[in-house]
Chains A and B, each alone.
Chain A
Amino acid sequence: MSGVRIGVDIGGTFTDLVAIAADGTVTTHKTASTPQDYGEGIIAGLRALVADRAATVTDVLHATTVGSNTVLEGKGAKTALITTKGFRDILEIRDLRMPVLYDIGWTKPRALVERRLRLEVIEKLRPDGSVSIPLDRDSMAPVLAMLRSENVASVAICLLHSYANAAHEQAVAAMVREALPDVAISVSSEILPEIKEYPRTSTTVINAYVQPVVRAYITALDARLRALGIEAPLQLMQSNGGLASAEFAAHSPAHIIESGPAAGVVGAAALARRLNEPRLITFDMGGTTAKAGLVENSEVLRSEAIEVGGGVMAGSRLLVGAGYMLKLPAIDLAEVGAGGGSICRLDAAGAPKVGPQSAGAEPGPVCYGRGGTAPTITDCNLVLGYLDPGGLVGGGMRLDLDAARAAVDRDLAGPLKCSVEEAAHGMLRLAAATMMRAIRAVSVERGRDPRQFAMLAFGGNGPLFAAGIAGELGIRRVIVPPLPGVFSAFGLLVADAEHHARQSIRARLGNADPARITAILEDLAAAGQDRLQRDGFPPERQVFQRAASARYAGQSSEIEVALPDGIVAPNQIADLFAAEHERTYGFRAPANEPVELMGLSVMARGLPETPRLPAAIPPFAQQVPAMRRAWFPHDGWVETPVTDRAGLSGMRHGPLIVQEYDATCLVPRGVTVELDPFGNIRLEQA
């Protein structure tokens, strides 16, 4: 297979496209997103990138925010929910918790299905799947009548204990399908066959709510690709970092809700393999937020649930309830409200604060000259000489240094009684501290010591802060990949097709039946095999990774451990679990404490025919000034060399600024920098 592969990443502000030709040539295109119709921006980008060679395109890989935006903006389909009688309010009662304390103004996100359309059917199962109340088919009559009279477009079905026995849900689905063949149906036992009714209901409802919208989006985009002359199939990035076919994504859109942020981490994992850096902390900083993720053994780490629209974490990931619960594996990312546009201010007691308020793209930082008056992180970077007043995006936009200085002086330096430079630098340190919390959340809170990791920094602002943050955390090495500003789109190009299947069980490992464990793992693998087959992967290009979740009996949180190939003995799982528990939390329970197996999962991965990562990406040459005055603590103003990436030859010492089209990398004193054979910038703490 030789042809052009294209990654398309839609963000809130920009749509990024990256194309890799068969000979390894990379071309990129950045265009403003078109929120009324995202497809328009994509097609415009594709036209610019591959208009003359559409027929040679072999892959179109896409990360999109259409799923999360549909939820955030409340623009999903008219959706109904069918529940066990007596339990229709589970969706709205949620788990009761709120993300704020001492705040009378707190408002819950509105349920995605209004109460009138939360419909009940008479039936009930027991936890073991046996029937307590048989399904009363007559009780479906008013349900179907309501679906009809309210013109419902999509239906979620979530009955109690359906994870143990799907028969009632299947029967209800069949009745809906028969009565209303055009209505989309989402069944909880298919989407999330796991105990706990609230996460299962919420996840199923999200799927139902976005499904018609996502399907329409994918269908339209697909048609436009064909019209451009592109014959390659459209594939979408899932929240878990794997690629899925357009058909799967349209049927189970709950899996692609957090598609966008996942791609960058997937790209990081691919780089980790290429660079033989098995442990990486990813640091992705853009205009409004910064995100941290973890790559270990060259694999991304996943979390078992996310909150859609939960916003950035306010210091702790315990603060739940701000968004919509989606309990599907997603790449574990911690996000904090610190980006280039974050506003710097003093609070009522005169303490300096950064974010989470952001000036956004409009009015933007003071230096953009678009009416912003509050100093931002970008203004501070400009004041200190780290950014080129000559402009961002290759000079496409001039920055107003005097206005930025005046704002920092007025709002910060004056009240803090310090110099403008000290104030600006202090704000950058605070922003760095906020971002370090995100990094700690994915590392320290999981028992990982960041000092044993390298950092991969990308996003428009990541490379500016990376060296400083790495120094604070004791991380010795920072890698800035080529095209840091469009690295997420690049990540799409190196992702694999992945399908995750999980089965909830409950068994004490002491007396668990090894044959049952083997049988479940085989069933799960067979399901993955089947899906990969349908995606077009022959058996020799399929790999499987198995895992078990366990806990000490009586404990309420589970830990997932990877399982070796072959037959796995229950006590082997118990040992793996105890070791991981000790690693994460610093202790293990006495050996006689029973360990409970809670779930088994299999990840099925389809491998590409040829390596997806190009051997090297030649940097774009660019005109940059040779020197610039920049301010550093202890040294003050220093004439600092400025170079582009192509101009980095041999090992250089900071202070130094590497200025590129879409990002600027700051190399402070005490840090060395060089280009590796793959075109990555490598920073090392001396």
Chain B
Amino acid sequence: MHDAITEELFRNAISAIGDEMVLTIYRTAYSGVLKNIMDYSAALCDGQGRLVAQGLSLPGHLCSIPVALQAVLKAYGDDVAEGDIFINNDPYDGGMHLPDIFIFKPLFAEGKVIAYAATICHHTDVGGRVPGSNASDSLEIYAEGLRIPPLKLYEKGRPNPTLFRMIERNVRLPGRVFGDIRSQLAACEIAARGMADLVGRYGADGVRSLMVAMMDYSERLTRQCLLELPDGEATFTDWIDDDQIDVGVPIPLVCTIRKRGDTMEVDWTGSAPQVKGSINNTLSYTAAMSFTAVKSVLSVNMPNNDGVFRPIKVIAPPGTITHGKLPAACAARGLTGFRGVDCAFGALAKLYPDRVFASSDGGNTGLTIGGYDKELNPFIYVDFISGAWGGRPWADGLDGNTCMFANMASFSVEVIEAENPLEVLDYEFVPDTGGAGKFRGGMSQRKTWRMLADEGVLQVRADRQTHRPYGLYGGGPGAPGLNVMNPGTASETKLHAKITMTLRKGEVFRHELPGAGAWGPALERDLALVARDLRDGLVTIEAAARDYGVVASGDPPAIDESATEVLRARLKAERPPLPDVAWEPAA
């Protein structure tokens, strides 16, 4: 047994190692997906493969590391030696989707494994039918790229040349992939040094028992937070517009939350069967989206580790979109993750209305433009556009802020133009797109690109064009998302939410994110807030009257308070109140 002070000192020290691993990847990574978008995570697991400490990184990776490590341990059993490095990306053997490559390094003390350093990075390309390996319309995992089962990338310190050559021949940008793998290895090395220090200080057995204590600590905190919440059960259904294959066929996600005492169940029974398109989740990804929503309503942000997982059970029947079976494609399952978070938040909002926001923008839009220049050198531009937050029970939703499930950064416009044959024409908020409410939803952003190379492939994974971000408790939904080719010209064409198509020189593609849902009735919105939005140009004079019953005119717009009072009274009498969950605005 250790005293409380020693346990806290250890938590501090091991969390610092996790953060130093994350920082090492940040500083050494080659691909923009890692550096700019931070689509990676790092962690330490104990000798049994349980998550002990996760560095600050992507919520979407929260539950994936122990699952991938268990697959490695299952494959190799006792065949783990000093100097081994394991690699894995197969969604059907511990992985998430093929671009996410896991690297594990066993750390030894006194001749025995004491811990595993774990890293997961989203790689720019892992082969398959489209650049970026990210298409949402692949029909099977086999089209999505190179599947790497749990294997030794290094054996007792020696690289596995067969595997290196296989990877090199099967990815489009091997230099970048190997560069990023080097950065994962560097992070594991940082962990090895840190763990050696800890063993020096606390002894091998001391470190083992302190890791157990750390997991127990998170479990205690999690249970206490759950106890604070009233018991209850609620079910919520949210929708993905479609999977790009069965166009126009909506895909339901159903989440039931059962809270009893110090435990919780997050049950996805009732969600759609797995789909043809590549948006099927692994169970670990469904767990990540469940935990992200649940953790956001708990009062304490405890260290992420195995202890958090113990009181919260995630149920996802195999063969559904929340738990795909081979050969379901899954490259673009990020979308299902985002919608799952929205859906779990919806269920939580029914149980705990004062703790949950209305639907955010529906998750980021993934966009890839790739191809070859005149010398046949490949270029791949991967970007994620987000985010607008849902209105909160106490405040407006945020404009221009990353979504809860993925703390990603935006790409610099100047860097996009400097590194790719693309011109960016605008990047700005779109007025009147946030759901109208007492606390409005965040505004959509618009981003527009012009193709400068002869041709390339455009892929877009967007959603919420037909099923808008819902509003809560009288608040309206956000505006639907939009994809347009050649906007403002004779050849303007509205496109589907999910796209895989050729983009030719001079063509212009525009994406608009959905706006976020609002919280509370719009007619109750404080006039000072409406005035601010009018002044900012985020709400137009027409929308102020239509949505908020506010009469304004001039530049800057000035509110006529008495006319507003009259209009609000009339609208209140005429307009039926919105339901607790609103998918369509007031008529």
Contacts and interface: CB of A to CB of B under 8 A. Distances in A.
A and B are interacting partners: yes
Contacts of B28: 555, 557, 581, 585, 587
A97 interface: yes
B27 A197 contact: no
B383 to A, nearest CB: 11
A29 B14 CA distance: 43
B466 to A, nearest CB: 26
B272 interface: no
B486 interface: no
A163 B413 CA distance: 13
Interface in A312-371: 315-319, 347-353
Interface stretch (B2-10, B151-159, B230-238): B2-10
Interface stretch (B140-148, B175-183, B247-255): B175-183
Interface in A86-108: 86-90, 92-98, 100-108
B29 A90 contact: no
Contact of B23 (A132, A163, A316): A316
Given A96-B386, A116-B537, A416 B176 contact: no
A1 B408 CA distance: 56
Interface of A is mostly: loop
Interface stretch (B414-422, B561-569, B576-584): B414-422
B36 interface: yes
Contact of A127 (B22, B26, B417, B537): B417
Contact of A319 (B8, B15, B36, B56): B56
A427 B8 CA distance: 10
Contact of A115 (B3, B395, B448, B536): B536
A348 B221 contact: yes
Interface stretch (A54-62, A280-288, A428-436, A486-494): A428-436
Given A89-B400, A132-B423, A445-B20, A352 B414 contact: no
A104 B9 contact: no
A107 to B, nearest CB: 7
B20 A556 contact: no
A188 to B, nearest CB: 11
A292 to B, nearest CB: 14
Contact of B32 (A93, A106, A427, A556): A556
Nearest to A161: B414
Contacts of A587: 28, 182, 185-186, 189
Interface string A55-84: 000000000000000000000000000000
A95 B404 contact: no
A566 interface: no
A426 interface: yes
A545 to B, nearest CB: 23
Nearest to A354: B8
Given A87-B426, A93-B400, A351 B7 contact: yes
A432 to B, nearest CB: 9
A444 interface: yes
A418 interface: yes
B418 A506 contact: yes
Interface residues of B, number: 89
Interface in B159-204: 175-176, 179, 182-183, 185-186, 189-190
B535 interface: yes
A557 B183 CA distance: 12
A160 B417 CA distance: 10
A552 interface: yes
A506 B419 CA distance: 11
B224 interface: yes
A430 B182 contact: no
Contacts of A589: 179, 182
A166 B355 CA distance: 49
B13 A433 contact: yes
Contacts of A351: 4, 7-8, 11, 217
B304 to A, nearest CB: 9
A110 to B, nearest CB: 11
A318 B24 contact: no
Contacts of A584: 27
B11 to A, nearest CB: 8
Interface string B414-454: 11011000010111110000000000000001001000000
A318 B176 contact: no
B401 interface: yes
A515 to B, nearest CB: 23
Given A93-B445, A430-B8, A587-B186, A318 B26 contact: yes
Contacts of B212: none
A126 interface: yes
A433 B7 CA distance: 12
Contacts of B536: 114-116
A554 B35 CA distance: 11
Contacts of B425: 86
A555 B414 contact: no
Contacts of A116: 535-537, 556
Interface in A223-238: none
Given A348-B221, A585-B186, A198 B400 contact: no
Contact of A555 (B4, B30, B415, B537): B30
Given A102-B301, A349-B217, A586-B189, A96 B20 contact: no
A286 B415 CA distance: 41
Interface in B11-44: 11-13, 15-16, 19-20, 22-24, 26-32, 34-36, 38
Contact of A88 (B55, B356, B428): B428
A320 to B, nearest CB: 9
B23 A585 contact: no
B296 A102 contact: yes
A86 B355 CA distance: 36
B298 to A, nearest CB: 8
A318 B8 contact: no
A190 interface: no
Given A89-B427, A102-B292, A316 B410 contact: no
Contact of B402 (A98, A160, A437): A98
A458 to B, nearest CB: 24
B56 A347 contact: no
Contacts of A353: 8
Contacts of B408: 96-97
Interface string B259-298: 0000000000000000000000000000000001001111
B9 A433 contact: yes
Contacts of A348: 221, 224-225, 299-300
Contacts of A88: 428
A593 interface: yes
24 contacts: A86-B427, A87-B427, A88-B428, A89-B427, A90-B427, A92-B429, A93-B399, A94-B410, A102-B301, A115-B429, A132-B423, A163-B414, A196-B415, A316-B19, A348-B221, A349-B220, A350-B220, A351-B7, A416-B5, A440-B20, A555-B30, A589-B182, A593-B175, A593-B179
Q: What are the 6 closest A-B residue pairs judged by CB atoms, nearest first?
A: A86-B426, A556-B35, A426-B5, A93-B400, A115-B536, A127-B418
Given A92-B429, A104-B356, A593-B175, 17 more contacts: A86-B428, A87-B413, A95-B409, A96-B410, A97-B38, A101-B404, A104-B355, A126-B417, A126-B423, A316-B19, A318-B22, A433-B8, A445-B23, A556-B34, A585-B24, A587-B185, A593-B179
